[in-house]
Structure formats: C-alpha cells, structure tokens
Amino acid sequence: MNKIQAPFKGDNNATYEMNTVAGADMEEMAGRKELEAHWVRVCDRLRKEIGDKAFKTWFGEVELGELKAGKLRLYAPTRFVRDWVGRHYGDRVLAYWQSVNAEVKNVEVNLVPPPAPRRPNEIIAMPPVPSSQNSHQPPMPRMGPSIGRGADEISQTPEARYTFNNFVVGKPNEFAYAAARNISEQDMPLPERNPLYIFGGVGLGKTHLMHAIWHVIRERDPKTRVLYLTAESFVNRFIQALRTKNTGQFKELFRNVDVLMVDDVQFICGKEASQDEFFFTFNSLVEQNKQIILSSEKPPSELQDIEERMRSRLGSGLVADIHSSTYELRLSILQTKAENARVPVPVNVLEFLAHKISTNIRELEGALNRVVAHGQLIGREITVEMAQDVLHDLLRQADRKVTVDEIQQRVAAHYNIKLAEMSSPRRARSVARPRQVAMYLAKQLTTLSLPQIGKRFGNRDHTTVMHAVRKIEELKVSDHSIAEDVELLKRQLQG
C-alpha cells in the first residue's frame, strides 16, 4: 500500500505540487458552483413554463450530475421519472442549458447511482432508532414492487365470494355488468373504454363488480400486475410518502402496474395534492396503454371539489351506471342467495323482503341472513310474521325511504337554487340556509350518521352538520316562515 508522507521542510518541489493540487481543487469547486447556479436558472425557466405542480412532480427529485466533454448528466430517482423527463422535457432542458452554458452539447438523464459497496471491516454509523414512546409518526410501510406476486402488501385482496358467476343481473345493472365483463376479458385496453368508470348508490354492487374483474384478470394471467385499493388508501399512502420524502418510490410503485383499480374514487375530492398525484398517475398509465378501473357513488359530472382536468379524465372512457334496484331484481337476488345457501325460504317471505327493503342490496342480503340465522339458531319456522319480528328495526328504517339525494333535490327546488349548491363551498345566506335545512331534514328523515351526512354535502365535517341541525331547530321556534318550510318539505318527502 502506498503511504502519503509529509514533505520535508524546505522541499520546494513538494510545496509546489501541494499548491498546484490545492489550486486545482479550488478551480474545480468554483466550476461546480457555477454549474449549480446554471442549474438553478434552468429550473426557474422550467418552473415558469410547465407550472409549479408539474415541476415538483417531475423535477423535484432530479439531481444535478457532472459536465464532462460537453455531456451534462442529470440523475433521476426512478426509471419512470428518468424516462418521462427524457421523453417529454429532454429538448427543452437541453435548450435551456445551452442558453446559460455554451459548453453543454448534450443532456443525459440517468438513474441515481447505487451507493458504493461497503468495504470489509468498514463501520457505518447508523442513526438511533426512535423508541415507540418518543416517536409520533408511524413507520412507513414497505412499498417494494411486489405487485401481482401473491401476498402483496399494497394491493387489497378482493373477496373470493364476489365473482361474475354469483352477480345477479337485472335491468338496473346489466350495462355495468356487461362493461365489467368485457374489460376483464380484454388482452389490451381499448382507448375508448379506458378508464372504466362504474358509479351508483351505496350497496348496489359496484364493489362486487370490481372484485369480479380482479378475479378474472388474475385467473387469465396470474403474472398480470393488478393493483386494487380504495381511494382513501391511495391518499393515505401518498401522505405517508410526502411525510417521509419517499415520493419517488411511490411513483415507481403506482405507475408500473398493468391494471390499476381504485374503489370510491370520490374520496379524492377536495384533496388538491392527492388529486394532482392521481392525475399524473392516471396520465402515465394511459400513455403506457395500461387499464384503469374506477368506482364512485356519483358520475364524474357531479363530483364536487375536483379540478376540471381530472373530471374530464375520469369521464374520458366508458362510464357505466348502476340504477336503484327494481322489485324483480331484488327478488331474484334473494332467490339466488337462498338457493346458494341451500336454505328453504318461503316465496312469500322473499317477496315481503323484496317489497320492504328497496334502497340497498347489501341491507337486503343482510336481512335475509338475519332471518335465516334466527330460524336455524332459535328453531322458529320462517314466516312473514317471524321476519317482521326479527327485522323490526330495519323495517322501521325502511319505511322511511327518504334519501339524501331526494332531500337535496326537493330543498333546492323549493328555494330555487341549483342542486350543486348543496355541496358547494359558498356561504352566502341564500345558499347556506337551504343547505342547513337540507342537513336538518337528512338528520330527521334518514338513518345516516352526522359524518355520513356531511360527506353527502361536499365532504363537510360532522360539526358543520351538528351546527346546521341546531340552527334550524332554533329558527323553527323564532322564524315562522322557516318552520312552515320545514314542515311542508317534510310532508312532501314522506308523502
């Protein structure tokens, strides 16, 4: 091993060499500072041209490399960012660099080089692991690219019972069923059917169809990388990635799948940063000809607090709705469920349930389960009278068939305001007072909780609903016209 020795005193040659090396180091440092200053100017121009959001998405984690022989190197955190920046911004980046530094002849975007391997006996100082008592942040879950490989830690596992074979098809859901089946059997996405956007009320079968699509895709090719999760899970993971400065890995994960399935996409409404990330993820996958499948409670045109570009993207493919169930469909569902369970349930009991529980298929199936379980465990004969006794609480609720949508429509028409104002952020009294009346009626005439009601009114907090209920109760005493309005609307809705 060569050893570096200090020069002898008076060794003029050694002193000269040291000064030369020091001078070269200083010159190199000055050149680096100048290069960094040029990079700042290039970034400023890029930010002004493409906007702050796009700049943060694509250049926020790009690092400045070195300039050698006219070739400037930049380093991207992931392959996806590398390819995107090179493909979409390469010419502009080169032009901007050449405008500030004539030495730049070419710009090359590479992956960030891996850390150098540790030498034998080398000791690496590790930061102390925070104790559970002092740590206020949960650890970031592992986000390794294990999608489509069995026990995946990111994708939520669909339920085995939700398949196309046991999905009962009727007039209200036949188009959504046909669309879902068609998409699941396609080898390559069709542009005019990407994304598939399924919407409908709570408990009508959206999630059943989503799970059924997943099963068929994976059965046809187990190697297909399918990522299925709720919009809430997407938002939570994005927030964690921001908190831990791990957005590069987040992008790598979500933008390198074959099929992305997101349930309850309305959850991203009002969440600006998450919308931006979802928008870029959406564009990336469509550009790569990957399939996107979404579900929501409302069509894209009725989503509130969402950017127009996002609304346009959501509705750019195949939009399929599931209508409220008909009596015939509800009866068919009950018959199928009873047959599958191999439990003899009298036809008049099934007809009674199909008549009485009309708003929610999930509640309908739950009611049948309760009746059957009661008959098996208690030993009672299954009759209409027995069903009335067992389901007295549910039937009492079902008799009050008023929905939040009906309340909003009726109140908006009564006060001559647009239906969209029920979910808008406007606080003018001409809008706020009818909205408070609608919230009050929703609390009185439905079984929804305060947070659930708030969600239907533009994702408002439950305290806002609580305030609205108290305010209308006060005004009913002090303002005769409000009292009349509330009573009139209540009679119309219950009639």
Binding residues for ATP, as ranges, are 203, 205-207
Give, in degrees to the nearest 5, the angle at Cα 241 between 238 and 244: 150
Closest-CA residue to 273 (of 307, 308, 233) = 307
d(CA 106, CA 73) in angstroms, rounded, equals 9
Q: What six digits make up the tokens of 131?
A: 């104790």
How many CA atoms within 13 Å lie on the side-chain side of 57? Answer: 23
**How are beta strands 71-76 and 63-68 bridged, if at all?**
antiparallel
In sequence order, what E strands does 47-187 have? 63-68, 71-76, 106-111
Residues making up the annotated binding site are 203, 205-207
> What is the signed CA dihedral for 372, 373, 377, 381, rounded to 10 degrees?
-20
Closest-CA residue to 63 (of 44, 83, 43, 47) = 43
Taking phi over 0 as left and psi of -120 to 50 as alpha, with beta for the rest, 397 belongs to: alpha
What secondary structure does DSSP assign to 391-450, as a single string? THHHHHHHH----HHHHHHHHHHHHT--GGGGTS----HHHHHHHHHHHHHHHHHS---H
Taking phi over 0 as left and psi of -120 to 50 as alpha, with beta for the rest, 292 belongs to: beta
